[in-house]
Amino acid sequence: MQPTLNNDPHQANAENPNRQFEMNESGSNITVMKGILIGAAVGGLLALLSSNARSNTKQTFKGAKESVSSVAQDIKSDPAGKATQVIEQVKAASGVIQEVATDVQKVYETVNENIDSVKEDASKIVATAADTKSEIQSVGEKVVEAKDVALGKETPKNTENQNDQQAKS
């Protein structure tokens, strides 16, 4: 006889055997996002155990702080000028992006225009290769015939045709 358990996991999940974790009634379930954040925090703290990592992190934060404060100071001193500068930079960037888009469109059109001629050229090459193949086979047959005639295994076909024609006359 087995003892009865208050919280038997096999009994609790008997209806849903594929579910390993269920939300309990109090709703205290750790979400994936919370788990990721907690893991990142623990990993960051473990990384800071090294003195080199701590000093590099301090230097990075100091540099970021100085950079942000410099930009904030510039914006405070001349907000309209900074706004104009940002607008000009965006306009310049959009102009360059437009040029790139135009160049890409031209390349696309060139490829599309030339693809048909490339296909035609490829078809001509295939046809030429097929013709050449048959001609090479014919030449190969003539070479074999010449070899056989030279070895005395066979009489030349043209000579046989000529002899047949002479006999008929």
Structural domain contains residue 143: no
Structural domain contains residue 116: no
Structural domain contains residue 21: no
pLDDT digit string, tens, across residues 99-131: 999 998 988 888 888 888 888 888 888 888 888
Q: 74 near 66, Cβ under 8 Å?
A: no
Answering whether pTM is above 0.85, one says no
* Neighbour-count burial for 17-45, b at 16+ CB within 10 Å, e otherwise: eeeeeeeeeeeeeeeeeeeeeeeeeeeee
In whole angstroms, give the CA distance from residue 125 to residue 35: 63
Q: Which of 39-43, 51-55, 157-161 has the highest mean pLDDT?
A: 39-43
Number of domains, the chain: 1
Average pLDDT of the residues in 10-33? 60
Structural domain contains residue 96: no
Average pLDDT of the residues in 75-89? 86
In whole angstroms, give the CA distance from residue 29 to residue 19: 14
Average pLDDT of the residues in 57-74? 89
Residue 63 is part of which domain span? 34-77
State the first-to-last Cα distance of the chain, in angstroms, to the nearest integer.
Answer: 120
